[in-house]
Every structure is written in structure tokens, then in C-alpha cells.
């Protein structure tokens, strides 16, 4: 069955190009030219990936992204955000939109397809390392159900945030470089901006740390990468 992709983008030429390219690759593509239409389409069907432009007439892409993340039916769908060059990237980071990746305009169709493939490639369970749960103090990851609990409270994570946390917790007390994290979590490091790791670490800290500005669980090891304190 063809994988379904929803694109929300108000530039007609761009959205048509992206849709044509994805259809040629065998994906089933649905398009919306504004945020409200995008939300209705997102709500009425299930997709394997949603691509959102930030600047849209009416409901903007970041708001839409957060609405999708807060909807229990869609909270784990991979989301790629399209942004204009410059300050919007910081905006994505600052607003903790919950996207899995972002692409800065203008971008090539080849790069776009590569990023789409990364999101489509679900991490396959490693049978030799099969474990049902990862636990560290009051943090518990249910690997089978892909749920995270801090004490009794469930924490909602995006797919990539979950994979990142699982990778860090599997290797607790060891420093993981950004390159290693990209390879393990994103699986295809060439096309993903290294800053993506930093952005996801920041989002993760906001969700799991008691005080995100003074993180106790995920430490930054300057010039190297990150370490989960187990
Ligand atoms: Ca736009």
C-alpha cells in the first residue's frame, strides 16, 4: 500500500512540484493551500508524513504542527517543516513546535526527497538488543508501546524525540557524538543538519528535565556531544 503524505503549502508552484515528485516516487499525496484545509485533511485521515510550510494564510504552520502534536490520534506522525531562510529557523527552535525535521527554502527536490525518505524509514527493532523497558530514576520508557513516563505522568514525545531519548538511555553515562546520534536516530546523516540533534535535545530537555535551563539528565559535553546521566 502506498504511503500517504500530506503537504500544506500556499505556494502553488512549489506544492505542485513537490507533489509531482513524490507521486513519481510512488507516494500517495494530498495537498492543502492553507492551514485550515490542512488541519481538516490531517484530522480526517491518517498519514505517514506531514509536510508543513510555516507562513500560511490563516492558521500558520507552527500552530498547525502543535495542534497535530496535541491530538492523540496524530501525535506521533513525522512532521517536516518548510521555512524561509534566517530567523524562522530560530522560531522553530524557540517555539518547540515538535517537528521531526525542517528544510530551509530554497531547497532542491533531491534534498527534499532524501529528507522524506529519512522520515519514512521507521527504526527497525534490533532483536539482539530487545528490551521492553528503559528505566532511569523516575523516568521510564516503554519501548514496545513507545510511551514515556516521568513518575506517574505520561510525557508526550514525537517519534524522533522518543528514538533520541531511547538511544541516550541505552548508552547511559557514555558520551554520544552528534554524528553517532544522527546515524543511529536519523539513519541517514548526510542530509540532516547537525543542528537538528541540538534542537531535539532542547525539546527533550523541556519535556523531561525538572529545570530545562539547568539539565540534570542530559548533559552537554562541549565539542563532543551529549550524555545521559544514569
Ligand atoms: Ca508560505
User: Percent of the chain, pLDDT > 90?
Assistant: 50
Q: Which residues contact 39 (CB under 8 A, 6 or more apart)?
A: 59, 64, 67
133-145 tens-digit pLDDT: 898 989 999 988 8
Average pLDDT, the chain: 86
Distance 76 CA to ligand 1 centre (A): 24
Distance 6 CA to ligand 1 centre (A): 15
Distance 122 CA to ligand 1 centre (A): 29
Distance 53 CA to ligand 1 centre (A): 6
Distance 170 CA to ligand 1 centre (A): 40
The CA distance from 199 to 218, in Å, is 13
The arithmetic mean of pLDDT across residues 33-39, rounded, is 96
Domain ranges within the chain, ordered by starting residue: 4-121, 125-228
Distance 200 CA to ligand 1 centre (A): 24
Distance 155 CA to ligand 1 centre (A): 32
Distance 204 CA to ligand 1 centre (A): 28
Cis amide leading into 106 (omega within 30): yes
45-97 tens-digit pLDDT: 999 999 999 889 989 998 899 889 888 788 788 999 898 766 666 556 545 67
- The band of 174, judged by pLDDT with boundaries at 50, 70 and 90, is confident
Q: How many Å from the N-terminal Cα to the C-terminal Cα in the chain?
A: 42
CATH number for the segment(s) 4-121? 3.40.50.2300
CATH of 125-228, one of 1.10.10.10, 2.40.160.40, 3.40.50.300, 1.10.357.10: 1.10.10.10
pTM here is 0.58
Run of H or E residues at 42 = helix 35-44
Amino acid at each position: 500500500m502506498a504511503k500517504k503524505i500530506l503537504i500544506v503549502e500556499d505556494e502553488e508552484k512549489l506544492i505542485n512540484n513537490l507533489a509531482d515528485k513524490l507521486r513519481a516516487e510512488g507516494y500517495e499525496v494530498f495537498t492543502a493551500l492553507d492551514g485550515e484545509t490542512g488541519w481538516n485533511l490531517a484530522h480526517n485521515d491518517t498519514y505517514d508524513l506531514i509536510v508543513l510550510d510555516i507562513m500560511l494564510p490563516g492558521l500558520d504552520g507552527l500552530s498547525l504542527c502543535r495542534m497535530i502534536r496535541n491530538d492523540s490520534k496524530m501525535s506521533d506522525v513525522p512532521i517536516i517543516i518548510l521555512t524561509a531562510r534566517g530567523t524562522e529557523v530560530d522560531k522553530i527552535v524557540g517555539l518547540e513546535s515538535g517537528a521531526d525535521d525542517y528544510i530551509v527554502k530554497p531547497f532542491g527536490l533531491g534534498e527534499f526527497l532524501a529528507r522524506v525518505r529519512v522520515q519514512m524509514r521507521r527504526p527497525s527493532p534490533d532483536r539482539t538488543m530487545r528490551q521492553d523497558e528503559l528505566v532511569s530514576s523516575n523516568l521510564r520508557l516503554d519501548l514496545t508501546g513507545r510511551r514515556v513516563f516521568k513518575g506517574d505522568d505520561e510525557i508526550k514525545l514525537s517519534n524522533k524525540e522518543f528514538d533520541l531519548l531511547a538511544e541516550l538511555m541505552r548508552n547511559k553515562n557514555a558520551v554520544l557524538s552528534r554524528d553517532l546520534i544522527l546515524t543511529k536516530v536519523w539513519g541517514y546523516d548526510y542530509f540532516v543538519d547537525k543542528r537538528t540533534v541540538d534542537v531535539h535535545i532542547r525539546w527533550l530537555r523541556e519535556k523531561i528535565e525538572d529545570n530545562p535551563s539547568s539539565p540534570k539528565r542530559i548533559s552537554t559535553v562541549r565539542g563532543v556531544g551529549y550524555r545521559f546521566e544514569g
